[in-house]
Amino acid sequence: MIENLVTSVKMIVKFGLLAVLAIYLSFSGTALSQSNELPVKSNRFELKSECLRELNTQINSELFASLVYMNMGAYFDNNKVARKGFAKFFADQSREEKDHAHKLMDYINKRGGIVNTLDVKMPVKSTWNSPKQALEDAIQLENDVNDYIHKIHGIAEHTCLDPHLMDFIESEYLEEQMTSINQLTRIHTILSQMQNGVGEYLLDRQLLKGDVKLDEL
């Protein structure tokens, strides 16, 4: 009688352990399956608030840069300065920066965001001793803009997890910024190597006529 009871207990324990093992394996398999699945994010179409905020800030930066270049163009077109070629060059830069701002606005609207923080600073400088000095300010300005664009790219990658925004920044802004800084630096280098105002005047005439191809500098 006792032996039968012990045998029965052993069988119950054995089947109980098997049941526990089966349940464990079942849950383990489910957890493993879930761990191999990519997390699903809701509404990846719309911009996250962190990236939307930074893009709005960048719109203001682009419009500020446009106003700075507009000031430069107006100054060098003055009849007491008479550097119409540099005036044209800086006016073209102003339009380009304005286009950058509108491109950001279009992108925000396409992604369902709201452009709502237009608060553009006004430039405080309106005169320059020479085109060379203006180019130095322009190079610093472009580097500041470029640094902030890199910041937005980093936030898009690590915070917003937004590959589309990263691609937009890479294809529309990063290469263009590098090209712009390179061109400004090269024109500044050319002016720095000139010994008198005659060279500056000749370069001004070339810029006015379009004889200087910026991509060939």
- The CATH number of whichever domain residue 177 belongs to comes to 1.20.1260.10
Q: What digits encode the pLDDT tens for the residues 37-81?
A: 555 556 678 899 999 999 999 999 999 999 999 999 999 999 999
Q: Which domain holds residue 195?
A: 49-216
Please tell me whether residues 26 and 111 are part of one structural domain.
no
Please tell me whether residues 176 and 73 are part of one structural domain.
yes
Q: Decide if 44 is inside a domain.
A: no
Q: What digits encode the pLDDT tens for the residues 95-141?
A: 999 999 999 999 999 999 999 878 899 999 999 999 999 999 999 99
Please tell me whether residues 72 and 137 are part of one structural domain.
yes
Mean pLDDT, rounded, for 201-206:
93
Distances (CA, A) of 192 to 36, 195, 205: 60, 8, 17
User: Where does residue 69 rank: exposed (0-12), middle (13-18), buried (19+ CB within 10 A)?
Assistant: buried
Please tell me whether residues 107 and 8 are part of one structural domain.
no
User: Total domain count for the chain?
Assistant: 2
Radius of gyration in angstroms for the set of CA atoms belonging to the chain, rounded to a whole number:
31
CA–CA gap between residue 172 and residue 151 (Å, rounded): 15
Summarize the chain as % helix, strand, coil (round to 5).
75, 0, 25
Please tell me whether residues 135 and 177 are part of one structural domain.
yes
pLDDT of residue 33: 47
Q: Decide if 7 is inside a domain.
A: yes
Q: Decide if 43 is inside a domain.
A: no
Q: Quote the tokens at residue 168.
A: 């937009």
Please tell me whether residues 10 and 71 are part of one structural domain.
no
Cβ count within 10 A of residue 146: 17
